[in-house]
Amino acid sequence: DAGITQSPRHKVTETGTPVTLRCHQTENHRYMYWYRQDPGHGLRLIHYSYGVKDTDKGEVSDGYSVSRSKTEDFLLTLESATSSQTSVYFCAISERDTTSTDTQYFGPGTRLTVL
Amino acid sequence: QKEVEQDPGPLSVPEGAIVSLNCTYSNSAFQYFMWYRQYSRKGPELLMYTYSSGNKEDGRFTAQVDKSSKYISLFIRDSQPSDSATYLCAMRPNRDDKIIFGKGTRLHILP
């Protein structure tokens, strides 16, 4: 998985509780992404980061926040989890330079269930 | 019309057959096209990456882009049971744009 780890790999939580998912990379790539994958919707971008402390919203960012204090770590926080946030969450990384194709490499995923 | 359309399947074919997976899209600005393979309970992994129209071959896999028809295909020759997975097409207008993914086609190769 291209030097990407996600933690936890599985989590069950209750509605209204805060949840933080962690993505850690060892590739020193500049760009990091959080996606969610749901049946019938495919992969949808939640937030992404283009550098330390530089983040931006994706298409489904409501209810989520992110932080990136180090190049290697990108955190996704659900401030108050809802059942609609039950999903599989994937982190991805990419490196945009003039020589690369800027493809995204995905982590193994975190399966989150909100009861 | 959705930006990227992909038949969810499942598609079941016998081992050794040629598999054809397809996506259509509506945005004529797309220039970069990708195919990802995703095994059950794993993250997607990049399989093929092409720019603009034409064919690209890598082993048993061939990616084909027809921009005039807004249609891309992935062909798998001599299919194996290990090819059983979900295949996601993906595309973007420019290198700096966000990637738009298809919903994926589930493929089963029957031994």
Query: Would you give per-residue pLDDT tens digits along chain A (115 residues)?
Result: 569 999 999 999 999 999 999 999 999 999 999 999 998 888 999 999 999 999 999 999 999 999 999 999 999 999 999 999 999 999 999 886 555 566 789 999 999 999 9
Q: Is the CB of B43 less than 8 angstroms away from the CB of A90?
A: yes
The beta-carbon contacts of A55-62 under 8 Å, at least 24 apart in sequence, are A58/A33, A58/A34, A58/B98, A60/A36
Among chain A residues, the shortest Cα distance to B50 is held by A101
Distance CA B111, CA B82 (A): 10
The three-point CA angle B27-B29-B33 to 5° equals 85
The two structure tokens encoding residue B60 = 């048993």
Cβ contact, residue pair A96, B95, below 8 Å: yes
The number of beta carbons lying within 10 Å of the beta carbon of residue B2 is 11
